[in-house]
Amino acid sequence: MRNVRLSRLLAQQEIAEIVQAMGCTSSLPLGVYNESGELISGDEHDEAQEFPVLMDGNVIGVVSGDMQAATIAKFLSFLAVQERDKLDLAREVMKRHREITLFLDAADKMHDDVVAPEEVREIVDKEAKELFKGHDVKVSIDGQGENVVDLRDAGEEDSGSEPGEEAPADIELEVDDELIHQDERVLSALLEARVAAPLERARSHGRVRSLLRTLEDLHGLNDLDAILDELLHAARKLANADAGSIFLLDNPDTLRFSHVHNDSLFRKNMANAAMFTTFTVPVSEMSIVGFAAKTGKTVVIDDAYRLPRNLPYSFNAAFDKRTGYRTTSILAIPLRSYEDRLVGVMQIINARSENDQVQAFSRESQTFIPLLAHNAASIIERGQANRESVLRMVRLVAMRHPKETEAHAQRVGAYCAEIFRCWAANRAMDPAAARRFMDRLRIAAMLHDLGKLALSDSMAKRKDRTNGPSREYPLHTVQGAKLFAGSSTSLDLLCRDIALHHHERWDGTGFPGLVDLSKDTIGLQDLEAVQPLKGEEIPLPARIAALALAFEDMTRPAPHGLGLSDKQALKRVKQESGRHFDPAVAMAFFRSFRVLKAIARRYAE
């Protein structure tokens, strides 16, 4: 026996529930309710009296409660008959007006891109076709306003109601030569009840598919920063959130601020100097992220400025005061690996509704984001291991060439990634594809001078710039490239191109040119016989690395660099654009200059 909810009996939702009781589907929850519209618990339900809701002698539901429930059941029976009569009238109208247009508000089902618009259309059309068999029903999915049902015949004069606008409260319809006032919400409530359940199923399936795609994308990344960037993009998309940040465990007692997004403050899909700000937070219950790290619990906050006083943690409003931003809703999730090791904390901020208003995080977000975080934690650990492996090789080079420090490699890698980000944005490159390329580019750029390990001891002992490069210096590009020559992976190919060509010049006066790496030995005579590359013959990653390395050399203090001021460095890059540097890469460099300076501060010696 089906039960009917009783609160707000005359509201639109209750019409849909009456329709459900008559045999139609609805996404509204079923349950046994008392006369006040409150859900009765199991024990109370056992003791409560049940009164049937009847229509034409058939039981279509029950009302549970005391004796007053009997009166409510009778009223509900009357209302059910009344609604049945309205539906009968609507079907009569449909016989007279063979073509009917329904305006259905489904924006809330599509705002987060979890369900594709074409999938929504397919579901709505299918349900409308089954519900109104034999009738030509056109459904317009309206992203604005309320649900509207337009019962005007296509050939009649326009009544003044535009598609997407709320129709008049009553529409006059001529049926059997009588003017009858028909509530235009009946059909929309009926159709909405039909499509709600399949749309909700599609949303759930869509979120699962999105989560699996995200994990697949994360598994395909190698660089730590690329993994953090992709994770924040994915988490914010799932929750439709404006901002987010990731803190990584620096030591057992400290979290380090490692990555940030903010659509309100930063240009979308572009870096910002704030991304390379760094500070630490204690692993303690005093702060929101510290509490999540310490307890292993997800923290859900609807309004950061209205926290109960009895909580151990408080909200730090310093960022809001400094930037004018307004933090409201927060979801802070501990990042714990499969082995239950704490990796860090991800914080998602300001969930948004379909009309871009800040709201609390939905139950779906509170379910799916922690699931994503749990799976991503081990991927972050892999990224950390990859970064450490790269830095270990850099340290190996530094043992013979003190100039090649970890900080130097970190700066060059980050410079290349951010210059490319601007270059890609200038060409409207797909942001996801750009992030995947940056993943490989950063690692390859950090390994640009690996070939210096093959230089002679006399070259290795040069500790400053005063003696100039030796005659054998160009050989390090070939030796570095040969380390990756036997592999065909996209990362190794990128490493090879940068190692071999980062000393090429746009005007063709660099070195070493197009070298045959398949030869067992390559000497100086071989290099002298090769024509240098120029212009777009030089691989793009090498053109970017050439500028990044030149900027590093200009601004790095002596004895390893020239120690130029920012103004002097900018002037020199401008002078060398079109000679040493690709003009398009130079333009991206100028656009990203503030970010490059933030990188230099973060990875200072």
CA distance 300 to 503: 52
> Which pLDDT score, from 0 to 100, does residue 421 have?
95
CB 505 within 8 A of CB 532: yes
DSSP string of 527-564, one letter each residue: HHTSPPP-GGGS-HHHHHHHHHHHHHHHHSPTTTS---
Q: How far apart are CA 391 and CA 410, in angstroms?
A: 9
Q: Compute the mean pLDDT over every residue in the chain, rounded to the nearest whole number.
A: 78
* Helix, strand, coil shares, percent, the chain, to 5: 50, 15, 35
pLDDT in tens, 227-249: 999 999 999 999 999 999 999 99
Distance, CA of 605 to CA of 406 (rounded, Å): 8
Return the structure tokens found at 124: 């709505």
State residue 16 phi and psi, 5-degree precision: -60, -35
Higher per-residue pLDDT: 185 or 481 = 481
List, for residues 292-346, the tens digit of each pLDDT value: 999 999 999 999 999 999 999 999 999 999 999 999 999 999 999 988 999 999 9
Nearest CA to 538 out of 561, 514, 564 is that of 514
CA distances from 530 to 100, 264, 302, 312 (A): 75, 51, 65, 69
**Do 360 and 241 touch, CB atoms closer than 8 A?**
no
Least confident of 69-83, 212-226, 276-290, 476-490: 69-83
Average pLDDT for residues 460-474, to the nearest whole number?
59
pLDDT, tens digit, 9 for 90 and up, residues 345-384 = 999 999 998 888 999 999 889 988 999 999 999 999 999 9
Quickly state the pLDDT bin for 271 (edges 50, 70, 90): low
pLDDT of residue 498: 98
- Write out the DSSP string of 361-376: PPHHHHHHHHHHHHHH
CA geometry: angle 423, 425, 429, nearest 5 deg:
100
Instruction: Identify which has the larger pLDDT, 212 or 203.
Output: 212
pLDDT of residue 24: 35
Amino acid at 440: R
Q: Closest Cα to residue 423, out of 296, 227, 265, 269?
A: 269
Amino acid at the residue 424: A
Percent of the chain having pLDDT more than 90?
51
In sequence order, the β-bridge partners of residue 61 are: 53
- Nearest residue to 587 (alpha-carbon basis) of 424, 431, 437, 417: 424
**Chain centroid to CA 77: how far?**
49
Q: So what's the pLDDT on residue 14?
A: 45
> For strand 58-65 and strand 99-105, is the pairing parallel, antiparallel, or unpaired?
unpaired
What is the reported pLDDT for 220?
93
Instruction: Please check whether residue 102 is in contact with residue 150, taking contact to mean a CB–CB distance below 8 angstroms.
Output: yes
The region that residue 297 occupies, defined by phi over 0 for left and psi between -120 and 50 for alpha, beta otherwise, is beta
Mean pLDDT to the nearest integer, 266-293: 88
pLDDT for the residue 113: 55
Lowest mean pLDDT among 64-78, 413-427, 524-538: 64-78
Non-local (6+) Cβ contacts of 528 within 8 A are none
Q: Residue 492: pLDDT above 90?
A: yes
Query: At CB < 8 A and 24+ separation, what contacts does 125-129 make?
Result: 126/198, 127/191, 127/194, 127/195, 127/198, 128/102, 128/191, 128/194
> 134 or 508: which carries more pLDDT confidence?
508
85/144: higher pLDDT = 85
pLDDT greater than 60 at residue 146: no
CB 53 within 8 A of CB 4: yes
| DSSP symbols for 422-466 | HHHHHTT--HHHHHHHHHHHHHHHHTTTGGGGGS-HHHHT--SST
